[in-house]
Structure 1
Amino acid sequence: MANNLMSGIIAQQPPIEAESDVHVVKSRLEWGEPAFTILDVRDRSIYNEGHIMGAMSMPIDELTERAAISLDTSRDIYIYGTNDGQTTQAAQILRSAGFKNVSQLKGGFGAWKAIGGATEGIIESRTPAAADDYNVVSRIQNHIETQQK
């Protein structure tokens, strides 16, 4: 009964697309939308250097085993690798293992950094903040200018 009461209050998320733009994921994070995971399938050493903040490391050669024990098959999963080919391969592996809501993050980590998405890692922590990283007004202005190009 409790689920029926809550279903009218909490909006259902539309199904995720097979491929997603980094803006979609960033928006979901900023709005605090629940129940999704970001997977980084690059080698662990590359992940340690820098990755999307909150992304889980699941190197592609361990993906099936680790995902099966740690993720629900109906969870929304955004996935990225070293390049689009690795990302596509990883998404196919998960879909073949029964994961229903897998989306390839177009452009991966590079695209994420290009839009000012939050990052973490050894190299990322040593990279000085850009001039507008802490200025919301400048970031909005940069976003508007980028969208107009």
Structure 2
Amino acid sequence: MSDPQTTNPIAEAKENVAEAVPTPPPQQMPESSAQALKSRLQWGEPALTILDVRDRAAFNQGRITGAIPMPMAELTDRATASLEPQREIYVYGDNDQQSNQAASQLREAGFESVSVLKGGLTAWKAISGPTDGPAEQL
């Protein structure tokens, strides 16, 4: 016979388990247009970082003014060593596929706010966004 003062272990366990919360679906990769980024820079919003994930030779030939070179092979290590996970990051590469891949790597490394600059440097130049590099002197 069981003692009536004894509690039911199953009921007790249920009371101590946190309420189940469904896992949210993975978010779509945010993308930003060149115009949206240019507008933010013109408004003087300093709390963002632009990463150029192309190889060093491409970076040296021309880049968005203020972009930081972080080639794909070094991206995760360099970003985690030098940027805060809450930092707002814009990424561009040779093409949108490379940019999306870089953004995925950064998100997997724990970065919370990563946007792909749709169209990359080509789109940036098309709206006369400021650039640096010897190619601009042609």
Q: After superposition, what is the alpha-carbon deviation per residue over 1:72-102, rounded to whole angstroms, capped at 9, x for unaligned?
A: 1101000000011100100000000000000
Alignment-derived partner of residue 13 in structure 2 = none
Alignment-derived partner of residue 84 in structure 1 = 96
Contiguous gaps of at least 5 residues in structure 2: 1-28
What's the secondary structure of 2:85's corresponding residue? Answer: coil
Q: How many residues align?
A: 110
Contiguous gaps of at least 5 residues in structure 1: 1-16, 128-149
Alignment-derived partner of residue 111 in structure 1 = 123
Alignment-derived partner of residue 135 in structure 2 = 123
* RMSD of aligned alpha carbons: 0.9
Of 41, 53, 56, the residue aligned with 1:44 is: 56
Shift, 1:34, TM fit: 1.9
**Structure with higher helix content:** 1
Q: What amino acid maps onto 1:114 in structure 2?
A: A
Q: Which runs of 4 or more aligned residues in structure 1 lie more than 2 Å from their structure 2 counterparts after TM superposition?
A: none
Shift, 1:122, TM fit: 1.6
TM-score (ref. length: structure 2) = 0.78
Q: After superposition, what is the alpha-carbon deviation per residue over 1:109-137, rounded to whole angstroms, capped at 9, x for unaligned?
A: 0000000000001212x13xxxxxxxxxx
Of 67, 73, 92, the residue aligned with 2:79 is: 67
| Fraction of identical pairs, as percent | 58
Alignment-derived partner of residue 41 in structure 2 = 29
Larger Rg: 2
Alignment-derived partner of residue 139 in structure 1 = none
